[in-house]
Chains A and B, each alone.
Chain A
């Protein structure tokens, strides 16, 4: 047997060790949280630093002469003439008259590459809007090519990215810069145009509209159905095997990988019911099935939080079970249900994988105008752009992500706000 003094020493020694372990353990916890927070910060700064540039785009100022002979249009009201017009020649001749010393086919091609491929069509649109300009000369800002845009932005930052630039192009840009004829403007194309193969002309309007139509349909279907299911399960369902089975199903569906819902949409909606591919209708149906469990679960929680005294009071006044639920329980549970619906919609807005299965991944230039127009959605647009080889699309993708994230932040904060504002504590 050891003496008591020895034991005390032992305990004292072990105490310092144990206290050190305690401190270490706390630091593990702190480090874990810091890793999580660092991930949030790194992610956001990375996306923002990559994408902020896309909100501004390079324009070049040129003296454009709308020459009737070059365009080949005499009558601005004749659509056939307008369609046949040689619109590309207008910006080209403007460039040639700006840089008169350029000769030789190769150099000229380099010169023409300063401007976006769509510059001619933009000028056509301008001319159609202002027919009096025909035959006139004006000085206007024209959209630059994406390579020029990338170069000019990086050049302004002091680290020019010149991989796709020729020497004379760089010289022209320097000349334009010194004359003040090249500048960055707000990129309105990003918000007003559909997708394009040319990064400088590509916009997210089409994807936003596609997301809008898909989400509207999803909300219109999943909110009423989800709330009805929640009401049934919470207020009317008898406790039996069938309702247990429904509950197990709902809980499992909430955890089924989203891509499985895509397979379901492909096999059932497209292959069996012949709903056309790529349209918001089928996207909305798939996302409805996907968000239903979320909405049912949150709605049930909201109904559950309404105290039974409310129900008892209504029943005591002679209301039927349905009148109790519809007139008293439902209005009180509505804020919670709306919060759940917003969270479900945010989930649906960010969802990509199931939509790839049902063909919403197509390259669509036109801006969808309805539920049955082929469309893509914002996250799928991000996926498509992330796959594109052009360097300028990295910037675009990050900008689209910023737009998507800001929509999600707005939705989630409004859900939190709604909950704080409207939810009653009993």
Chain B
């Protein structure tokens, strides 16, 4: 049986278990004079039975799904071990792929060696065994669980605390998913990065000035080593982010100040959501806009001034990214500015300061930590932004600080290294994970720091 069918069966049995559990509790309560003689409400007895019926088998099913395939594969390959001998990981995977393709009938059986055919047969056989034993096991487990849960029901049985305990653990598991996600991110980028740093030394990656990620097809190829110096990528990323900040910080900050301090209610009610529209537009749309509208426009503008602007320039990508970040900065700044106590404004105005002096000399200094935190969050977002730079910043890894030239960024390189089918163990693909590690570390530090500042600042005025 298919896993989805088993899942549906388990759920159906669980529902069935709910009803018979509830039914039994009602039947037990009747001679005693109604359900008020039960410890818990009847539905809790139902839930209790359903949990015993479905939960163990669901856990086992998910474990089985995870370990089923690797186990079969290793069994098949160990049966082939004497033919294969001691081989590298790549040929191992190749053989395994071939066997499973033969077993699934994707690859024809003609012309394959006997050993492969035998292994494929063995694999099919194992899969059939696995499937049937899974089905049988699941059925047994659900029925046993159902009977056990059912048999425990009696009027004194404390079903509600038990059900609530299970529920609390389920809720906790859901909350812990956030930790597992972080852990998954760290582990996945860390492991691949360690593998990468085995072939490319860390200092070469972090301080190297040349980036041309290539892997050799032949050992003796020219330039077979490739070079993985990531400094041009870091410089490119910083350049694009800097351009974005130059656009976003003044515009975002000034509009936040205007909306918070000057604007009438009607202007605010209109302008705030209108600016927020910019935050809701998908980044791929910005990328398209940057590549097809802004970049050609800048190039023509440049030529009319006698400047040569590359058709994929850091200026175009960064400028459009800045537009994207405007609402981000303005809403964060708006929050911190409105959080500044009114008494500070009143005090300053009473001393005869004009409104703009109050803003510049009192409100901004008071809100500064929050604003800095917001800007740092915006920087981390600019560094991690992908689609705009993929579509508008270019691929050439140049070490330049000129925003009119095309640069490449960390995220662009991750995308180009990982799209398409590659072998997973070549330095080229692993380099993407090393870049991912860099990106994750930097943005994480920025975020933790910024969130800390913002939180501390908020507490100050609460």
Contacts and interface: CB of A to CB of B under 8 A. Distances in A.
A257 B182 contact: no
Interface in B357-404: 357, 359-360, 377, 380-381, 383-387, 390-391
B274 interface: yes
Contact of A352 (B188, B257, B284): B284
Q: At the interface, is chain B mostly helix, strand, loop or mixed?
A: helix
A260 B384 contact: yes
Contacts of A226: 174
Interface string A333-356: 000000000000010011111001
B386 A259 contact: yes
Contacts of B444: 252, 256
Interface string A356-384: 11000100000000000000000110110
Residue of A251, A267, A383 with highest tally of chain B CB at under 10 A: A267
A243 B168 CA distance: 14
Nearest to B356: A25
A125 interface: no
Contacts of B172: 232, 236
B146 interface: no
A43 B327 CA distance: 15
B157 interface: no
A20 B271 CA distance: 25
Interface in B394-421: 411, 414-415, 418-419
Interface in A18-56: 18-19, 21-22, 25-26, 28-33, 35-37, 39-40, 43, 46-47, 50
A32 B254 contact: yes
| Range of interface residues on B (Cβ < 8 Å) | 35 or more
Interface residues of A, number: 86
16 contacts: A18-B357, A25-B356, A32-B252, A32-B254, A226-B174, A257-B385, A260-B185, A262-B418, A289-B181, A292-B181, A296-B178, A352-B283, A357-B415, A382-B288, A383-B390, A404-B282
Given A22-B354, A322-B164, A352-B282, A263 B289 contact: no
Interface of B: 66, 69, 160, 164, 167-168, 170-172, 174-179, 181-182, 184-185, 188-189, 191-192, 250-255, 257-259, 262, 271, 274-275, 277-278, 280-285, 287-289, 291-293, 323, 326-327, 330, 354-357, 359-360, 377, 380-381, 383-387, 390-391, 411, 414-415, 418-419, 424, 432-433, 436, 439-440, 443-444, 447-448, 451
Interface stretch (A72-80, A268-276, A418-426): A268-276
A231 interface: yes
Given A263-B188, A264-B189, A350-B282, 8 more contacts: A252-B447, A253-B182, A257-B383, A274-B69, A292-B178, A296-B178, A350-B285, A408-B282
A249 B177 CA distance: 10
B160 A320 contact: yes
Nearest to B254: A32
Interface string A305-344: 0000000000000001110000000000000000000000
Contacts of A401: 285, 288
A176 interface: no
A405 interface: yes
Contact of B275 (A33, A243, A273): A33
A64 interface: no
Contacts of A322: 164, 167
Contacts of B440: 256-257, 260
Contacts of A264: 181, 184-185, 188-189
Contact of A29 (B69, B191, B254, B357): B254
A252 B182 contact: yes
A267 B192 contact: yes
A379 to B, nearest CB: 4
A280 interface: no
A33 B384 contact: no
Interface of A: 18-19, 21-22, 25-26, 28-33, 35-37, 39-40, 43, 46-47, 50, 224-226, 228-229, 231-233, 236-237, 243, 245-246, 248-253, 255-264, 266-268, 271, 273-274, 289, 292-293, 296, 320-322, 346, 349-353, 356-357, 361, 379-380, 382-383, 386-387, 394, 397-398, 401, 404-405, 408, 412
Contact of B439 (A19, A259, A289, A293): A259
Contact of B282 (A22, A30, A379, A412): A379
A26 B359 CA distance: 11
A383 B284 CA distance: 7
B189 A33 contact: no
Contact of B176 (A246, A268, A271, A346): A246
Given A255-B377, A293-B178, A39 B171 contact: no
Contact of B354 (A21, A261, A292): A21
A233 B175 contact: yes
B391 to A, nearest CB: 6
Nearest to B414: A259
B424 A263 contact: no
B354 A228 contact: no
Contact of A386 (B251, B292, B381): B292
A320 B439 CA distance: 46
Residue of A259, A346, A412 with highest tally of chain B CB at under 10 A: A259
Given A253-B178, A267-B188, A229 B255 contact: no
Given A228-B171, A255-B447, A386 B291 contact: yes
Contacts of B391: 383, 386-387
A258 B388 CA distance: 13
Contacts of A47: 285, 288-289
Contacts of A382: 284-285, 288
Residue of A322, A346, A394 with highest tally of chain B CB at under 10 A: A322
A394 B359 CA distance: 46
Given A253-B181, A255-B380, A46 B262 contact: no
Given A257-B384, A401-B285, A404-B282, A228 B175 contact: yes
Nearest to B440: A260
A222 B233 CA distance: 34
Contacts of B414: 259, 263, 357
A29 B255 contact: yes
Nearest to A372: B4
Contacts of B284: 350, 352, 379-380, 382-383, 386
A292 B387 CA distance: 21
Given A255-B443, A256-B185, A43 B177 contact: no
A252 B171 contact: no
Given A21-B356, A252-B448, A255-B381, A386 B282 contact: no
B451 A252 contact: yes
Contacts of A321: 164
Nearest to B179: A249
Contact of A229 (B175, B390, B451): B175
A266 B451 CA distance: 29
A421 to B, nearest CB: 17
A379 B172 CA distance: 34
Contact of B287 (A40, A236, A386): A386
Contacts of B281: 43, 350, 405, 408
A36 B326 contact: yes
Contacts of B185: 256, 260-261, 263-264
Contacts of B275: 33, 36-37, 40
Contact of B251 (A32, A245, A296): A32
Contacts of A28: 254, 258
